[in-house]
Structures are given as structure tokens and as C-alpha cells.
Chain A
Amino acid sequence: MPARAASPPPRAVIAEIVASVGGDVTRLMDVLVAVQAQLSFLSDETLNAVAAELKVPYVEVVDTASFYAFFAREPQGRVQIRFSKTPVSMMKGAAEVVRAFEDALDVRIGETSADGIRLCWTSDIGMADQEPACLIDGMVFTNLEVRDVARIVNELRATDVPATASLPKAGCASNVRLRGDVLFAPYDRGTGLRNALGMTPEAVIDEVTRSGLRGRGGAGFPTGMKWGLTRRAPGDAHYIVCNADEGEPGTFKDRVLLVDAPDLVFDGMTIAGYALGARSGLMYLRAEYAFLLGDLERNLAERRRLGTLGTNVCGHAGFDFDIRIQLGAGAYICGEESALLESLEGKRGAPRDRPPYPTDRGYLGKPTAINNVETLACVPRILERGAKWFAGFGTAESKGTKLMCLSGDCSKPGVYEVPFGTTLNELLDLAGGEQAEAVQVSGAAGECVAPKDFGRGLCYEDLSTAGATMVFGPQRNVLEIVLQFAEFFADESCGWCVPCRVGTVLLKDSIQSTLDGHATRDDIIALESLATTVATFSRCGLGQTAPNPILSTLRNFPQIYESRLVAANDVRIDVGRAVEDAAAIQRRALVEQVAP
């Protein structure tokens, strides 16, 4: 470990960064990202200086700086390697790759090598179709193999500031396996936008309403209704926010859209801006996708040059609109729309209680529509081809197509654009997942589905999904997968409310104890009761859905619990371990008994 910086914080650096955002405390995320990039970590002294420059209390700056996984409060070394830890990455050999890095650097995960290379685990980085994957100083590396490790480590050691993009396995593939008619069909930039600008904002909202478009992030709220509520809500400013905080384990479709179809997304945001009467759009991009930022910013710059952003967009007098991209800093909870707003305002990503809803009081307290990347990408196509055309795809309640993200035990992992209503079986056939014994639908927050349900349709009115589809074959231990999801939620709980903060940890420990063969039938009854409390009493979607993998496997795969139970009258206390625990609490050392 490098010695803790003893020199005073370079106040001038901090002052310049704060000045670059106009001293605006709602830009604290940007300030902390920039300060950390310059000073490598956020010490107490640094945060004091940030607080002083922004003229806010120190404790407010600490609140934000300590919340996000990618902000470091301690020295971190000069290179950060973050490995994606998910059930799929572990299935694909992440543990072996990490071990190879540990051996090559002579450190354990969580530590920093003598020459300043730090290894750590992180939550799903959106590469489930090309795991094992990691981020090295923000650059993504995919399909890692043990034999890649020596070259990567050697090159990281060779230079102070490694050119990560030129290392082996740098970058990621889009893996679009099936192009449907809506999102992956050819689209000329601006077509839908120009059509929208030829209509009144109300007519644009009507068209979107008639198309039947619903939110693709999971909740399925009708987009036209959300826009209408936002437009009609009183306020001296209105905002459109694009939720690109794609953190749900097993999801990666938004990343692919941002790479392969950014014009659909930005046209969609601009159309939304016009419909809502907004002058500003914000895209909240997760820190794990920071490597996309350069291309996205270049696209925005080009749009400004072409006049599809800026004053009088596309020559439409009086419609001024621009887009800013806000980078996150590693927090799954920020995909929850009200937590995302808090983060956009520079605060910890703790969700808000509703009402008021964001459509009434959102970003900076103004009416705000928050839409998923995929939802916004549908909009220009609706304005280009018409609501009727769009509504011709899908089912009665679920119009259009859906991007499905296939990963795990399937031979063709990647993105599939299918009409809503496609069955899980059809999807598994397309992706070469015929061996599936369990499928986690809609990510960690979704449910674990057994073969008896594979004939169900993927749509809001049946098997509702935001797209993540993790396939598990007969060789997998489903209870271990449940444990990994439970660990994920315990790591990502924001901590605000009691049922989620404490409950997710207790759930994780209970699953661990079951896996270890310590649980009785009564413990499983207690587990189900605890899971119900967490689901019922938690403040936001994270806690409300965190027990889903447990509750759905209790329902669909009871045998994975049954097979591990011990009889209630068996002795359940491990005396040796109890003595060790007691000694640890009393801070006594156990000594070996010497025979008399």
C-alpha cells in the first residue's frame, strides 16, 4: 500500500473543479468524480476543501462521497481492477481469473499490490453475455481467460498510466443475435424527430399514448400517460431524464442501444423534450459504462453542429433543447427513479417517498418524466412509422418489441429483439438454451422460473420482464445462485429503511445457513416470513423485490431447500464454533488444552 498522503490537499485543483460547475452543489457527483480523478481518493481533508469551496456542510459532502462504490475514501493504488461478481460470471470462471490475477500480483482480492494495482469485486457490470469481465480504470475487458492475465498484468506494470484500450480483451461486443422491426431496423437520424416537430406537443403525446408504449425498465407504466402528467404539471421548468443506470444483474440491452442505436435514444429524448415543454434532458449513465461516454459526447456534439440540439432544434422556432450526461458512481439503487433524481442532484441515492411523484416534483423539484433507454428508443420509430404500426407488434396489453438479454447456460448469449408475447421456450430455442432447468427472469429482482412455466409469454400481462434472462442448466446449484442474489441485495441496499437495510443481511445469512446444512423446517418457515416482511414493508422497489429470488424458488424449487434440511430434533449447536464466537466477543484467545 502506498503511504497515506500526508501533504495538504491541492486546494487549487479543487477550487478549479468546483468553479467548472459554477459552484453548484447539485453537481457534487461531477465534482467528486473529477476530484478523485485528480487526487486518486477522497480523504477527509479533500472533502473538507470540497465542502468549503461549495459552501456546504462537510457532512453533506461525506454523505454523497461515502455512498457510492466507485468513490474511494482511502488510498486505492494507481490502477483499479473491478471484477464483475454475478451468478453468471462465477459460472463462466470469474473465480479462476481472479485467482490468476491474485497470484500474478501476489495480493488477495480487496488488496493493492506493492506496485499499486488494486483488485476488487463489483456488482454486475452489464456484460453477462461475455463474462468473465472486469473494468480496469473504467475500460471494460470481456471473455477473460486465465491465459490473458500475465500479459495484462505485465503491461499494467510497464507504464505509470497504462493505455488500457490496447490491452488484450479490452472492449466488448454488442452480440445482437436477432434484429426485430422496431429497434434494430435501419433508422435515419432525425426522421422521427422532424415528424414530431411538425405536430403539436399534445399530438405527439397522443400518438405515443395510442401506440400503447409502456416503460421498458420493468414497471410498465404507460409512457404517453407519464408524459401527459408531466406536461400538465405546473412548473417553471420541465425535464426529461433518460435512465441509463442499467444495473439489474443480467441486463445489457441499454448498453447495446447506446452503442448501436444512440440516435434513436437521443432523438427519443429530444421528442420527449418537445412533448413535455422541456429545455433540458439529462441522461444518467452508470459509472460502469463510463467507457461509452466519449462516443456519446461526440454524438451530442455532432447533433449540436447539425442543429438537432441547441436553439431552434431542426429549425423549429422556439424549441430550444440540449442534453447533459450525468455519470453515476456505482450504486444499483440509482436505477430506482427517485434515487436517480437524488443522485442527479448530487446527493446519496436514497429513494424518495411518493407522493409527490416525479411527474409533479422531480429533478430540482420540477415536473420530470423519467424513461428507460429502451423506452425512449422506441419513440422516434413510433413518430416515424405511426402508432398503429407500432401497436401491430406484441400482445393486447404489451405493444411493440422487447429486447431480451440472454446469458448463462445458452450457446448464443446476447440481445434478441422479439415481439412481446414470445414464450420463454421460444426464446430459449433461439439462444440455444434448451438444457435450461431454471431461468431467472427480469434479473435479480425478478423471479426464478421452472420448466413448467417455460411456455408462458414474456409480456406485462403474463411473465413480466425488463429483459434479463439468465439461464441455468442441470449442473447448477440453484440455492447457490439464490445466495449470490441475496448477497447482491445486501451489498446494494441503500440503508435508509430498516426492513431492507437489516432484512437483506438476515436473508443472506439465512440462505447461507441453509446451504451449509444448518436449517430446520422451522427456519424455512421463518425465512419465508422474513422475506415477506422485507417485501411488504420496504420503502422502495429494491427492498420490495429483493426477496423475489427466495420467494420464487421456495415456490418453484422447494426441493433445493428440502434436500438440505436437518431434522428439528437434531442438535444444531456447533459447540466448538459457539466457544470460538464467545471468545471473539470477549476478545479472548483460545488456547490449546494441554493434557495433564
Chain B
Amino acid sequence: MNERTLRFSIDGVPIEARPEQSIIAACDGAGVYIPRLCYREDLPPGGQCRLCTVNVNGRPSAACVTPVTRAAVVENATPALQAHRKALIEMLFVEGNHPCPFCEKSGDCDLQATGYRFGLSGMTFPYRFPKHEIDASHPEIFLDRNTCILCGLCVRASHADGKSVFGFEGRGARQRLAVNSAAGLSATDIEVADKAAAVCPVGCIVVKRTGYEKPYGERPFDDRSIGSDIEAKRIPVRASKEGHA
């Protein structure tokens, strides 16, 4: 630790961070999981899903876009925040059409896995049953907007690829994922090796002929819950403090 290290706490657990680091990055490094659907450490944050909203000195702030501040008191897993997050997950399920039982992404889907982690068993909001186009024009990549959660990861990943394959279109409830040609995905320069083809956290952008390759029991979230990889990094040096967090 050097003198530029910032210290703060999350649910009573002390965390050390580098200046300019976001709260979520610092917590990931320390093994404290903050739920998220639109954040990856290898891409700039977008702040779309708001699932990572924590209270920073009492003020709700998205942990992916909020830099760490010295001595901040952060609340994460409070009953109130968890209830709001559960409502957001539910919003995403009713906003789209999510056929989990037969979706190619089942067992490897961040939305589904987060739903399980939060014990989501049924919807209290009415389903919206939107109509969406499917874009199967590309020979190798399939685009199914029914499951899109507008997280923007593919948009940011495409920029990281040095391309602009994806973007948004429309506003509010009519907002949807757009591609860089009115003629569809096949008219863009996306390639299977692109990061943009790999980062979709749900079943919207999938590489063709790779579906259902892993049998039940071997899929990423079959035997572990989402976030458990982050929590495994936790060094339980201050176990006594954790108890009351």
C-alpha cells in the first residue's frame, strides 16, 4: 500500500483502492460482490442497468460510474437496496421476452443467474410482451432483440474493437438496439472474433451453431451463483466485522 491508496468501507468491510478507481472495481478486487448486468472491467462503464446502485455516504450512486472517495461509507447489501434491485431485475424480465427454459444462453445468462441469486420466482409486474424483429441475416451471428436488456455492452465492445457495429435507436420504451446498416447485421463489418460478438450478457447476440453445446450440469451457473467468483477472492482477515455487515 502506498500513500495514494484510498480507504473506504462497504457494509462495514474496509477496502483499499487506487485513486480514480470506481467503487465496483475496488470491491471486485477485494472480493465484495455488487450486483451488475452492464459492467465489465475490460470496458468503460455505461451506467445503464443501475443494479450496482449503492448508498455512498447515504446517497444512491451507481458503483460502476462513481469513483472511490476517501473514507466513504458505502452500503451495498441492505434489505432496501436489495429490494430495489430485485424490482429492476423483474423490470427487465417483463420488458422483454425471455424464454429461459429453451434459450441458448440458459445457464450462462447473467440476467437469469442474477434472477436466481435474488430468489426471483415469479413476476409481480405485468409482462409487456413486446414485438421484436429477429436479425438472422449474418451467416455466423444471430441477433434476437427479444432478450436484449439495452445494457450497451456490445456498443462499448464494438468501439473497443475499433468499429461501430452497434448503437441505439429511439427513446424510452421504444429504444432498441440498432446496427450500423439499415440492411441488418450482415451488412456490417462484425466478425465472430470481435469482442462485440462475445460480450452479450443475455441471449440477444449469439454466435450461430454454438448453442446448447454444454450439457446441463456443466454450464457456468449450474453449480455456482453469479458473483461467487468475485466473492471467492475475499480474504477473510476481518471475519468479526463481516458478521455484523
Contact = CB atoms under 8 A, between A and B. Distances in A.
A333 B172 CA distance: 11
A258 B235 CA distance: 62
A530 interface: yes
Interface in B83-135: 83-84, 87-88, 91-92, 94-95, 124-126, 128-129
A59 B88 contact: no
A530 B66 CA distance: 24
A526 B167 contact: no
Given A58-B180, A59-B166, A495-B175, A533 B125 contact: no
B44 to A, nearest CB: 11
A554 interface: no
Nearest to A492: B172
A59 B48 contact: no
Contacts of B168: 63, 348, 495
A536 B164 contact: no
Interface stretch (A173-181, A185-193, A498-506): A498-506
B49 A63 contact: no
A504 B49 CA distance: 15
Interface in A378-416: none
Contact of A501 (B67, B94, B164, B175): B175
Contact of B91 (A331, A348, A355, A498): A498
A530 B94 CA distance: 14
B167 A503 contact: no
Contacts of A423: none
Interface string A523-536: 00010011011001
Contact of B50 (A490, A499, A526): A499
Contacts of B47: 353, 496-497, 539
A493 B150 CA distance: 14
Residue from B87, B169, B178 with most neighbouring chain A CB atoms (10 Å) = B87
Given A59-B180, A533-B84, A585-B129, A502 B53 contact: no
Nearest to A56: B164
B179 interface: yes
B182 interface: yes
B217 to A, nearest CB: 32
Give the size range of A's interface with the partner.
Answer: 35 or more
B48 A502 contact: no
A272 interface: no
Contacts of B49: 497-498
A8 to B, nearest CB: 14
Interface in B155-187: 164-175, 178-182
A353 B65 contact: yes
B211 interface: no
Contacts of A496: 47-48, 175
B60 interface: yes
A110 interface: no
Contacts of B174: 495
A499 B164 contact: no
B205 to A, nearest CB: 15
Contact of A498 (B92, B169, B179, B182): B92
B50 A59 contact: no
A536 B88 CA distance: 12
B62 interface: yes
A472 B78 CA distance: 40
A40 B221 CA distance: 52
Nearest to A65: B169
A505 to B, nearest CB: 5
A493 B173 contact: yes
A502 B67 contact: no
A533 B129 contact: no
Contacts of A206: none
Nearest to B180: A59
A495 B150 CA distance: 9
Interface string B31-48: 000000000000001011
Interface in A49-87: 57-60, 62-63, 66-67
B62 A353 contact: yes
A58 B91 contact: no
Contacts of B128: 505
A63 B155 CA distance: 12
Contacts of A520: none
Contacts of A498: 48-51, 88, 91-92, 95, 149-150
Contacts of B129: 585
B171 A497 contact: no
A58 B187 CA distance: 12
Contact of B95 (A62, A502, A509, A539): A502
Contacts of B62: 353, 539
Given A63-B169, A495-B172, A533-B84, A506 B178 contact: no
A528 to B, nearest CB: 12
B65 A526 contact: no
Nearest to A495: B175
A62 B94 CA distance: 27
A212 to B, nearest CB: 26
Contacts of A63: 167-169, 178
A425 interface: no
Contact of A490 (B91, B164, B173, B182): B173
Contact of A57 (B53, B88, B95, B164): B164
Contact of B172 (A355, A494, A530): A494
B172 A506 contact: no
B124 A526 contact: yes
A417 to B, nearest CB: 35
A221 interface: no
B60 A536 contact: yes
B145 to A, nearest CB: 14
A333 B168 CA distance: 17
B171 A331 contact: yes
A44 interface: yes
Interface string B135-164: 000000000000001100000000000001
Contact of A59 (B67, B84, B92, B164): B164
30 contacts: A57-B164, A59-B165, A59-B178, A60-B164, A60-B167, A63-B167, A353-B45, A353-B47, A490-B172, A491-B172, A492-B172, A493-B172, A495-B171, A496-B175, A497-B50, A498-B48, A498-B50, A498-B51, A498-B91, A498-B95, A499-B50, A502-B92, A503-B91, A506-B94, A506-B125, A532-B84, A537-B60, A539-B50, A539-B62, A585-B129
Interface of B: 45, 47-51, 53, 60, 62, 65-67, 83-84, 87-88, 91-92, 94-95, 124-126, 128-129, 149-150, 164-175, 178-182
Interface of A: 44, 48, 57-60, 62-63, 66-67, 331, 333, 348, 353, 355, 490-499, 501-506, 509, 526, 529-530, 532-533, 536-539, 585
Given A58-B180, A355-B67, A498-B50, 17 more contacts: A57-B167, A57-B180, A63-B169, A63-B178, A67-B171, A353-B62, A490-B172, A494-B175, A498-B48, A501-B95, A502-B91, A502-B94, A526-B124, A529-B87, A537-B50, A537-B60, A537-B88
Closest 5 CB pairs of A and B: A495-B175, A59-B167, A57-B164, A44-B182, A502-B91
